[in-house]
Every structure is written in structure tokens, then in C-alpha cells.
């Protein structure tokens, strides 16, 4: 019974450690993440203008396309709109690839801390 309690506490603390590291790396990369997200929204506004649809629908299309879900309820009809859609998709892949990389790094550090391994690079000059 005591061993199950220890495992649960360790699992919970590992999750908290992972979240802390994930937040830390997202904070470090906040400029890049914010710039990419802002660009996706801006391209959505531009898409709305090119396709003559409401701005809200353009931003919605942009966010759905960036996540690569592509629901299909809004589709580009002009050549410029199609080029913007492809650009938004590539930007979304980069954005979410970066988030996955951050999560992977945070997960690796959490595992290293859990196992007691110190794989961090030496920070002394």
C-alpha cells in the first residue's frame, strides 16, 4: 500500500515537473511563438480580404489550416487565397513542430531528473 502511494506521488510530481519545464521553454521561446501565431492570424485577415469573407471566418480558416485539421467548411476560391492557405499550412507545421520540440525537451529533462541523471550541458565558461 505504501509503495502505490509513493508511485502516485512520484507520478504527480513528474507531471508537475514536466509542466514547469514546458512553461519555462515556452517562456524562453515566447517571441518566436507569438510572432508565428500573430502571422497566422494576420494571414487569416489577408485571406478574408482576398476571398471577400468576414474577418472572423478568415481567422478561423487560418487557425484551422495552421493546425492542419482543414475541416473543409471554408475553401479558397482564388489563386491568391490558395497560395495563402499553403503558406498558413507551412507556418502551422513549423509552429506546432516547435511546440512538440519544446514538449519533447521538457519530457526528456523530466525523465532525467526522475532517474537522477544530469545531462544538462556544463554552463561554466
SS (H, E, C) 50-119: HHCCCHHHHHHHHHHHHCCCCCCCCCCCCHHHHHHHHHHHHHHHHHHHHHHHHHHHHHHHHHHHHHCCCC
**66/61 Cα distance (integer angstroms):** 8
What is the spatial distance between Cα 104 and Cα 91, in angstroms, rounded to a whole number?
Answer: 20
The answer for residues whose C-beta is within 8 angstroms of residue 12's C-beta and 6 or more apart is none
- According to the model, what pLDDT value does residue 9 have? 52
* Structural domain boundaries, residue 48: 31-115
Cell of 111: 525523465
Q: Per the domain annotation, does 11 fall within a domain? A: no
Q: What band does 87 get if pLDDT is binned at 50, 70 and 90?
A: very high
Domain assignment present for residue 36? The answer is yes
Q: 58-80: per-residue pLDDT in tens?
A: 999 999 999 888 788 888 999 99
CATH classification of the domain holding 100: 1.10.287.70
Cell of 48: 478574408
Average pLDDT over residues 30-39: 92
Does 78 reside within a domain? yes
Residue 103 lies in a domain: yes
Highest mean pLDDT among 12-26, 40-54, 111-125: 40-54
User: Is 19 part of any domain?
Assistant: no
In a domain, 1, yes or no: no
Cα-Cα-Cα-Cα torsion 43, 44, 49, 55, nearest 10 degrees, comes to -150
Total tally of structural domains belonging to the chain: 1
Q: Look over the chain and give the mean of its residue pLDDT values, rounded to a whole number.
A: 85
pLDDT digits (tens, 9 = 90+) for 2-30: 555 555 556 778 888 889 999 999 899 89
In a domain, 43, yes or no: yes
The reply to whether 88 falls in a domain is yes
Amino acid at each position: 500500500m505504501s509503495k502505490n502511494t509513493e508511485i502516485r506521488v512520484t507520478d504527480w510530481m513528474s507531471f508537475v515537473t514536466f509542466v514547469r519545464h514546458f512553461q519555462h521553454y515556452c517562456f524562453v521561446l515566447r517571441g518566436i511563438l507569438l510572432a508565428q501565431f500573430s502571422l497566422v492570424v494576420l494571414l487569416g485577415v489577408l485571406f478574408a480580404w482576398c476571398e471577400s469573407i468576414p474577418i472572423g471566418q478568415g481567422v478561423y480558416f487560418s487557425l484551422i489550416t495552421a493546425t492542419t485539421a482543414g475541416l473543409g467548411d471554408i475553401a479558397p476560391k482564388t489563386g491568391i487565397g490558395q497560395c495563402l492557405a499553403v503558406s498558413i499550412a507551412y507556418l502551422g507545421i513549423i509552429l506546432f513542430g516547435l511546440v512538440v520540440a519544446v514538449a519533447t525537451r521538457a519530457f526528456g529533462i523530466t525523465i532525467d531528473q526522475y532517474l537522477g541523471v544530469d545531462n544538462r550541458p556544463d554552463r561554466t565558461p
